[in-house]
Homo-oligomer: A and B are copies of this chain.
Amino acid sequence: MTHLKGKDILHGNQFSKKDIEAIIKTASNIEKELKKKDALTLLKGKILATLFFEPSTRTRLSFETAIQRLGGGVISLGAVESSSVAKGETLTDTVRTVSQYADVIVIRHPRTGSAKEAADAVSIPVINAGDGTGQHPTQALLDIYTIYKELGPLKNLVVSMVGDLKNGRTVHALVEILSLFQTRLYFVSPSNLRMPEEITSHLKEKGIGIVETRDMMEGALASDVLYMTRIQKERFTDLSEYEKLKGSYIINKEFLSKLKKRVSILHPLPRVDEITPEVDIYPGAAYFRQVRNGVFVRMALLALVLGKIP
């Protein structure tokens, strides 16, 4: 069905449409299985190593949940240790050592390209959980799975991405995958945080419809999905520009009241001010369901790269 057995998960652009469909189907099957049974044992005896050279608590806990819900075990570099390990030896030696213990490695590292470097050094699968300003493909996969679950088959959808589109590695990986499904895209951002030119031109080449705007409501009214991200104050040189903009990228009750139809609201979390707590009860507020979907997607990925899905 797919050829992910033994593969590394490094970049949003590594997946074919068939790969994405296989991952979605596997995640969906696992989710159904878990409803029927207390415990799955597909990865019994397998060990996942989590190497987080910078903290990402959610992603780590999500993977540690995923492997355990499939019957496997975990070994983890602690936050303090990861710095001292990194000090004394090369990343290559560290991951080669860990690959003697584990069956699969999840790595988070502040340096772009480090996940690829790790993957090249070892024979077991390596999953990139964020490398600097590079990629974070499993986040994009859980986003896609969430869109699939909220809205059904992935075609002819309109997705607005809102906020810091320049630095957000999640949205970069996500558009790669959405582009496989002829999604139309609204990029909503301040002018200094626009989606990088190489991405938009690449999407245009593939025939993907793109609208760039600073007006979140314009995107929202046209969209099935609003994908929110944080705008960080420190990205602005002109603070008055920040003050002016920040209010326009906040979803609250008043904003919801202007929507014409139910829109699915996603957010990679943690949120700061972008979505007020009153929105949490809105039926389209999918961001906590998105967290849960992340576990199923990571269970699927672990099972696939370890060759346990026929």
- Chain A residues with CB under 8 Å of chain B are 37-40, 44-47, 49, 55, 57-58, 61-62, 64-65, 68-69, 71, 73-75, 77-81, 84-85, 88-89, 92-94, 96-98, 100-102, 269-272, 277, 288-289, 291-292, 294-295
Contact = CB atoms under 8 A, between A and B. Distances in A.
A96 B88 CA distance: 34
Top 5 A-B pairs, shortest CB-CB distance:
A39-B45, A68-B73, A100-B292, A89-B270, A100-B291
List the number of copies, as a whole number: 3
A269 B68 contact: no
Given A68-B73, A89-B271, A58 B97 contact: yes
Contact of A46 (B38, B94, B289): B38
Nearest to A80: B79
A200 to B, nearest CB: 30
A310 to B, nearest CB: 15
Nearest to A44: B39
A78 B57 CA distance: 9
Nearest to A42: B38
B47 A37 contact: no
A280 to B, nearest CB: 8
Given A58-B97, A78-B78, 12 more contacts: A38-B46, A45-B69, A55-B84, A57-B85, A61-B98, A65-B73, A68-B75, A79-B80, A88-B272, A89-B269, A97-B270, A101-B291
A74 B69 CA distance: 10
Nearest to A306: B38
Contacts of A269: 89, 93, 97
Contacts of A291: 97, 100-101
Most chain B CB within 10 A, of A62, A75, A85, is at A75
Contacts of A272: 88-89
B81 A57 contact: yes
Contacts of A96: 288
Contact of A65 (B47, B80, B271): B47
A89 B55 CA distance: 15
Contact of A47 (B69, B81, B102, B271): B69
13 contacts: A39-B71, A47-B68, A58-B97, A61-B75, A61-B98, A61-B101, A65-B102, A68-B73, A79-B80, A93-B270, A97-B270, A100-B292, A100-B294
Given A73-B68, A85-B57, A88-B270, A101 B45 contact: no
Contacts of A47: 65, 68-69
A240 B194 CA distance: 57
Nearest to A77: B57
Contact of A79 (B39, B61, B69, B78): B78
A157 B295 CA distance: 50
Nearest to A289: B100
Most chain B CB within 10 A, of A61, A74, A89, A292, is at A61
A38 B44 contact: yes
